């Protein structure tokens, strides 16, 4: 619990002259939902991309389960147990929901240089995929074409794909974006269940969601972290009020 799963220190990345993420440090433990909030353009999505390995950091280190993964490519990080979802839905729209999730699971069952037997007959993959779909509440939609599902279902499908990889840590980029009130409640319940045995980094705009489930919150403004603490501490932090919450309230 106290041992940090993910330890980020001094992480920076700029595009041209603009520092999208500058000197960000944070620690996330197992069983913790760590929310990252901040106004648009604060560098939250860049941070997720840096952690997932889609962008290379200019400086700083990322340690995951005590290993330095700063130089690991995206697939290697994923295989270590770091799963992410995307702010803008990113799925395989030609495949069925089950195939989407089974493919994600397949990435974690050794190499895929298996040329002859149909993947659809791989019972272990299908079973794992079906369980992940059931967990997010899409158990009945497994045979539907992913491209034809609703926005809310896409958000859940992304979660199922992340879960199917059996991750130790989830990087969730606005999982509740665009969801209706009921769907949001279901997503909050799911996140609370998931955090039992995983670490979660949650980028989220919906403050009700953040303050309802986050154990710790980091506030980013213009690429920098200006405060980290419990929800209560963040709520009462003057800098945060001034820089961010004040604008809304």
Residues that bind another protein (CB under 8 A): 52, 54, 73-76, 78-79, 83-84, 86, 90-95, 99, 102-104, 106-108, 112-120, 122, 161, 165
CA distances from 223 to 9, 10, 137, 151, 203 (A): 14, 12, 36, 29, 14
Instruction: Output the smallest distance, CB 118 to another protein, in A.
Output: 4
DSSP, collapsed to helix, strand or coil, labels residue 169 as: strand
Instruction: Output the smallest distance, CB 82 to another protein, in A.
Output: 9
Closer to another protein by Cβ: residue 164 or 221: 164
What order of strands is seen across the sheet that includes strand 4-15? Answer: 18-29, 4-15, 59-64, 67-68
Instruction: Output the smallest distance, CB 143 to another protein, in A.
Output: 11
Other C-beta atoms lying within 10 Å of the C-beta of residue 231 = 16
Q: Who's near 67: CB < 8 A, 6+ residues apart?
A: 80
Instruction: Output the smallest distance, CB 242 to another protein, in A.
Output: 36
Closer to another protein by Cβ: residue 33 or 164: 164
Closer to another protein by Cβ: residue 126 or 216: 126
Instruction: Output the smallest distance, CB 244 to another protein, in A.
Output: 29
- Retrieve residue 232's tokens: 């209560």
Closer to another protein by Cβ: residue 118 or 249: 118
Q: What is the DSSP letter of 56?
A: -
Closer to another protein by Cβ: residue 173 or 204: 173
């Amino acid at each position: 619990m106290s041992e940090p799963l993910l330890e980020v220190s001094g992480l920076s990345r700029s595009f041209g002259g603009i520092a999208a993420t500058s000197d960000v440090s944070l620690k996330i433990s197992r069983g913790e939902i760590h929310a990252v909030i901040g106004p648009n353009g604060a560098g939250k999505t860049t941070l997720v991309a840096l952690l997932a390995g889609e962008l290379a950091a200019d400086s700083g280190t990322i340690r995951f389960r005590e290993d330095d993964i700063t130089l690991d490519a995206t697939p290697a990080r994923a295989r270590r147990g770091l799963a992410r979802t995307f702010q803008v839905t990113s799925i395989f729209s030609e495949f069925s929901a089950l195939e989407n999730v089974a493919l994600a699971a397949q990435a974690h069952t050794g190499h895929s240089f298996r040329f002859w037997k149909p993947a659809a007959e791989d019972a272990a993959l299908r079973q794992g995929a079906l369980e992940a779909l059931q967990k997010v509440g899409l158990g009945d939609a497994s045979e539907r074409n992913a491209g034809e599902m609703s926005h809310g279902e896409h958000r859940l499908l992304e979660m199922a794909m992340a879960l199917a990889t059996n991750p130790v840590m989830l990087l969730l980029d606005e999982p509740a974006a665009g969801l209706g009130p009921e769907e949001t409640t279901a997503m909050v319940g799911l996140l609370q269940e998931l955090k039992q045995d995983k670490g979660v980094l949650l980028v989220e705009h919906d403050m009700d969601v953040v303050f309802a489930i986050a154990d710790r919150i980091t506030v980013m403004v213009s690429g920098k972290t200006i405060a980290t603490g419990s929800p209560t501490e963040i709520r009462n932090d003057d800098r945060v009020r001034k820089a961010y919450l004040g604008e809304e309230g």
